[in-house]
Amino acid sequence: MNLIILDRDGTINYDSDDFIKSPQEWIPIPGSIEAIARLNRAGYKVVVATNQSGVARGHFDMDVLNRIHNKMIDAVRDHGGEIDGIFFCPHGPDDGCKCRKPKPGLYQEIAKRLNTNLAGVYAVGDSKRDIEAARAGGAIPILVRTGKGDRTLAKPEPEFLEGVPVFDDLAAFTDSLLSEKIKV
């Protein structure tokens, strides 16, 4: 199965240290929605794996989260694409769950629900926890500079980035993948 796993905030849409708390605050990064549609046209299924601790922290509820996700889905559909699933962790950092990245629970759930192995599957994100979760879940981590990506690159512990391809944004990753400059 041709599958791509995407982080949401900082990869598909602009991120905020104050959380994306409403559909109005969800603003796509230029080129990201088109990139998802291009991946679909090239035969890739696209799923989203995202921490959403704003639910546990009381910044927004599940209804608002669903409306944010519906806005994202509609934006992708408006460009002829599809998001094949959204897997999210609503827990806080101290809840001890297995699904909060950097733990691999979301990736394990994706593999289980799609009945697939994640070996050879690219997982695109903008943070250290995205890279760690992808590795722990058996996927190939990709870092984008958008969102927290530049901050992640500036961290004093570069060993966790060893072997991780870095792209300016989701559109640049998609260009490279579809031009076969990187291979799954």
CB 32 within 8 A of CB 169: yes
Residue 126 is among the residues annotated as catalytic for this protein: no
Burial 107-121 (b: 16+ CB within 10 A, else e): bbbbbeebeeebeeb
Pick the catalytic residue: 7, 15, 126, 130? 7
Cβ-count burial of 36 within 10 angstroms (0-12 exposed, 13-18 middle, 19+ buried)? Answer: buried
Contacts of 29 (CB under 8 A, 6+ apart): 11, 12, 13, 14, 146, 147, 169, 170
Catalytic residues: 7, 9
